[in-house]
Amino acid sequence: KAGVTQTPRYLIKTRGQQVTLSCSPISGHRSVSWYQQTPGQGLQFLFEYFSETQRNKGNFPGRFSGRQFSNSRSEMNVSTLELGDSALYLCASSLQGRDTQYFGPGTRLTVL
């Protein structure tokens, strides 16, 4: 089976812009979670989607949003980018959510 894929792999934006990241889960997986990884804060949970519904949300501002499509693919959007949003954004998929999460390679976002 193909693993979790994320596009794009690298992205450079300027402050104030918005960005959309995409994640394709492993075939058959219905749960998709998003995490932000930074050197200072480590890996932090953003949100989790299952069957197109957000089931869980981490402690991030409303500028961070996401959605899931009927084929389980997911997108996350960050609006009004700030310098502190520079991070590696990781997507993870699992069958139902409460089982093993498999991570993609991440999207490296740099905000200038």
Partner 1 sequence: QQQVKQSPQSLIVQKGGISIINCAYENTAFDYFPWYQQFPGKGPALLIAIRPDVSEKKEGRFTISFNKSAKQFSLHIMDSQPGDSATYFCAASMGYALNFGKGTSLLVTP
Give 44 or 86: the residue with its C-beta nearer to partner 1.
44
Contact set with partner 1 (CB under 8 A):
4, 31, 33, 35, 42-45, 48, 50, 55-56, 58, 90, 92, 97-98, 100-106
Which residues does 108 contact at the CB level (< 8 Å), separation at least 6? Answer: 9, 10, 11, 88
Which residues does 77 contact at the CB level (< 8 Å), separation at least 6? Answer: 18, 19, 20, 21, 64, 65, 66, 67
The span from the CA of 53 to the CA of 106, in Å, is: 22
Give 76 or 92: the residue with its C-beta nearer to partner 1.
92
Nearest distance, CB of residue 55 and partner 1, angstroms: 6
Nearest distance, CB of residue 38 and partner 1, angstroms: 11
Give 16 or 84: the residue with its C-beta nearer to partner 1.
84
Nearest to 103 by CA among 40, 31, 42: 31
Nearest distance, CB of residue 69 and partner 1, angstroms: 19
